[in-house]
Amino acid sequence: MLAEPDIAVVAQAIGEPARAAMLLQLMDGNAHSARALATAAGVAPSTASTHLRRLCDAGLVIATDAGRQRLHRLAGPEVAQLVEALAALTPPRLPSRLQPDPPSGPLLPARACYGHLAGQLGIDLAALLRKDGVVDELAPGETGVVRTFDHPLLAALGITGLRGSGPPVRACLDWSHGTVHFAGGLGTTLLTALLEDGWLRRRPGGRALRATEAGRRKLTECGIG
């Protein structure tokens, strides 16, 4: 006899501000030390260790030894999807009357989102590839395929196939703009190529990305911006 899933275990693990901040930091797809996550969450390293054990016990985070360090990362893409879904449902921290219009902040133009590109640039790339028939229209959470790699943007980035596992394309609801960007193999491949070719650079200390001068020029040539 199957029992109902105990979603309270996961909800309680996430529902503490320091642990939520750690999960958001881990959305960059990288492995981080407890000290780095403590800084991101604004807590002491000893406190961070307790929080990380709770996240590991809930199956949200995994820890591995790397030399003398113990590094932490999200347990898998399903955890990232959960965090994305919660972020899309969560109201902003400031009251609406105090929110800038349009929203501002380093995460909004472009950011890493567990191996794929999010923010306005991710949305713009998704819109371009949909418009040109590379990918079909997809509702948030739907998956699809890449119809063709014969596209100026993909050619400029040297993309002829997909990296990573999972669906070729997944429409991911972007919490910061209320529309979709692409996850899945296409999202991973795009972000990897944009970074490897120097169109984007990581901003230090977080998930935010910035376009380089050459990258802005290339993106404009491809119809973005």
Q: Mean of the pLDDT values across residues 146-159? A: 97
Query: pLDDT tens across 68-125, in order?
Result: 889 999 999 889 989 988 887 775 554 455 444 444 577 889 999 888 999 999 999 9
- Give the pLDDT of residue 31: 93
- Give the pLDDT of residue 134: 97
DSSP 8-state secondary structure symbol assigned to residue 158 = T
- Give the pLDDT of residue 130: 97
Inform me whether the pLDDT recorded for 3 exceeds 90: no
Whole-number Å distance between alpha carbons of 40 and 135: 36
The pLDDT mean for the chain works out to 89
- Give the pLDDT of residue 93: 54
pTM, two decimal places? 0.78
Query: pLDDT tens across 156-198, in order?
Result: 999 999 987 789 999 998 887 788 999 999 999 999 999 999 9
Q: 2: pLDDT confidence band, cut at 50, 70 and 90?
A: low
Token readout for 204 is 């230090």
- Domains recognised in the chain with CATH numbers: 7-76 (1.10.10.10), 111-221 (no CATH)
Inform me whether the pLDDT recorded for 14 exceeds 70: yes
- Give the pLDDT of residue 56: 96
- Give the pLDDT of residue 100: 45
> Which residues are CB-contacts of 38 (< 8 A; sequence separation ≥ 6)?
44, 45, 47, 48
Going through the chain in order, the beta strands assigned E by DSSP cover: 32-33, 61-66, 69-74, 111-113, 116-118, 143-144, 169-174, 179-183, 200-202, 209-211
